[in-house]
Chains A and B, each alone.
Chain A
Amino acid sequence: MTRRVVITGVGAVTPLGVGAEPLIERWAAGECGISDGTGRCREFEPLDHLSKKDLRRMDRFAQMAAVAAGEAAEQAGFGEELPYEPHRVGCVIGTGIGGLPSLEQNQRKLIESGEKAVSPLAVPLMMGNAAAAALAMRHGLKGQCYGVVSACAAGAHAIGDASRIIRAGDADAVVAGGAEAAITGVAVAAFGAMEATSRSGISRPFDARRDGFVIGEGAGVLILEEKAAAEARGAEILGELLGYAATCDAFHLTAPQPQGAEAARAIELALADAGVAPVDVDYVNAHGTSTPLNDHSETMALKLALGERAGEVPVSSTKSAIGHLLGAAGAVEAIATVEALRRRTAPPTVGWEERDAELDLDYVPGTAKPIENGSGPLVAISNSFGFGGHNAVLCLAA
């Protein structure tokens, strides 16, 4: 019997607030959480959610993952006791960079005060798998548990991997997502040095005036379960992960392949995995970074993969409202996609005003628009691409 993967809980910490609800509601209302050129989670007060000891044991990205996972687990009805035998529950959390603030702090201590000043917690705080390990300890998850590192595709890769673990029968549920908190001196300077970030400090994906991405931070965590098992325990099903695929450009360390060939291939494979035809795609949650290169090659990829349907389907970028959450982006955007489908609405690409002659899709300018396609479940794809040429695509229904 084919094992299917459903979503029974979602949680998010984003520049639009703490929770999946403010993320979708505020984005759909056309609000933007970016200020002073960064997408910081200004409403996130760690001590409101975590103990002082928890805070010392987790870098900011893992703290955000813990809060997002708490929200998702509560919605899914994961109480003190897991609804499954603990070895049947896994955890896969993506990140682009990991605990960069801890690395920078300890590097400073090493230079200023010598080796003995370096914290014994430096390694467990900075390691890229720290969020996955922290969630496993907090929730007693004893199945497969690891971090995924693929730059800005990490969140989507993590969810995709998690779905494969369930489909292969290695787990009945997986806590999956992505987390990033790397708005630090080194990261901001480095992205600036490579001219990837916006000099204007404005995230306006697909707009002719776009000049780079706006760095953001946050976390998104989903509870994925095997469909029959979720139904048997009476869980509320928010949506289904119909398909997933990933490819690599093998082209350039940072620039996407200009024609979007391998990104298109990932979209085609994800649709094939889902058993969905291009004509059945109701919404596209774009990677849409606001960089000149990505938004062009992504548009090309959508046309290649979806054909005529590319010109009909609404395409919008969550990054217009929260900036680029790097390794958390794919997970937060998967949540935004499911919630958009549940509301049967395509939220806008906030701030899109000026058409780029070569970018001619419906980027949902101005305000959200209803997705009209009967009353059955709607289908969307959520694209994530990362430095290194990584392409990961999720096909979701709700």
Chain B
Amino acid sequence: MATPVTAENVEEKIYDGLVELGAERDELTREATLEDLDVDSLDLVELAQIVEDEFGVELRGDDVKNVKTVGEVISLVVTKSG
């Protein structure tokens, strides 16, 4: 069963995912930009896979192409689940 999509659950999973992708945990805030974290389009596709595995929410390239901050990624996942 997919994990319930709450902002807390999504934040935790995305933070874990970003650390897995090479970001430093202490740099992670909702305001942090993907650019500052050195997260590029390939990382975002991997992050989308993690999100889908965990929450059953599918993110496509078009969904994330204008996303700038970690907080926006979290909000997108929560919105898409609704």
Residues of A within 8 A of B (CB): 51-54, 56-57, 116-117, 119-121, 124
B21 at the interface (CB under 8 A from A): yes
B52 at the interface (CB under 8 A from A): yes
Whether the pair B22, A119 counts as a contact (CB closer than 8 A) is no
Whether the pair B52, A116 counts as a contact (CB closer than 8 A) is yes
Interface of A is mostly: helix
The one of A56, A117, A121, A124 that contacts B22, using a Cβ cutoff of 8 Å: A56
21 pairs, A vs B, C-beta closer than 8 Å: A51-B22, A52-B22, A53-B21, A53-B22, A53-B38, A54-B22, A56-B21, A56-B22, A57-B42, A116-B49, A116-B52, A117-B49, A119-B46, A119-B49, A120-B42, A120-B45, A120-B46, A120-B49, A121-B42, A121-B46, A124-B42
Q: Chain B contact residues (Cβ within 8 angstroms of A): what range?
A: under 10
Chain B residues positioned under 8 Å from A54 (CB to CB): 22
Chain A residues positioned under 8 Å from B38 (CB to CB): 53
Q: How far is the CA of A119 from the CA of B42 in the complex (A)?
A: 9
Interface string of B25-43 (1 = CB under 8 A from A): 0000000000000100010
Residues of B within 8 A of A (CB): 21-22, 38, 42, 45-46, 49, 52
Further contacts, 5 of them, CB under 8 A, given A54-B22, A57-B42, A116-B52? A53-B21, A56-B22, A120-B45, A120-B46, A124-B42
CB distance from A12 to the nearest CB of B (A): 26
Interface of B is mostly: helix
Closest to A54 in B: B22
Closest to A57 in B: B42
Q: Which 5 A-B pairs have the closest CB atoms?
A: A53-B22, A120-B45, A52-B22, A120-B42, A121-B42
CB distance from B81 to the nearest CB of A (A): 17
CB distance from B25 to the nearest CB of A (A): 12
Chain A residues positioned under 8 Å from B46 (CB to CB): 119-121
Q: How far is the CA of A211 from the CA of B52 in the complex (A)?
A: 51
Q: How far is the CA of A124 from the CA of B46 in the complex (A)?
A: 13
Chain B residues positioned under 8 Å from A52 (CB to CB): 22
Q: How far is the CA of A51 from the CA of B22 in the complex (A)?
A: 8
Closest to B22 in A: A53
Chain B residues positioned under 8 Å from A56 (CB to CB): 21-22
Chain A residues positioned under 8 Å from B49 (CB to CB): 116-117, 119-120
Q: How far is the CA of A1 from the CA of B21 in the complex (A)?
A: 51
Closest to B24 in A: A52
Q: How far is the CA of A180 from the CA of B65 in the complex (A)?
A: 35
Most chain B CB neighbours (cut-off 10 Å) among A53, A54, A116, A124: A53
Chain A residues positioned under 8 Å from B22 (CB to CB): 51-54, 56
Closest to A52 in B: B22
Chain B residues positioned under 8 Å from A120 (CB to CB): 42, 45-46, 49
Chain B residues positioned under 8 Å from A57 (CB to CB): 42
Q: How far is the CA of A328 from the CA of B12 in the complex (A)?
A: 42
Most chain B CB neighbours (cut-off 10 Å) among A51, A120, A121, A124: A120
CB distance from B5 to the nearest CB of A (A): 18
Chain B residues positioned under 8 Å from A53 (CB to CB): 21-22, 38
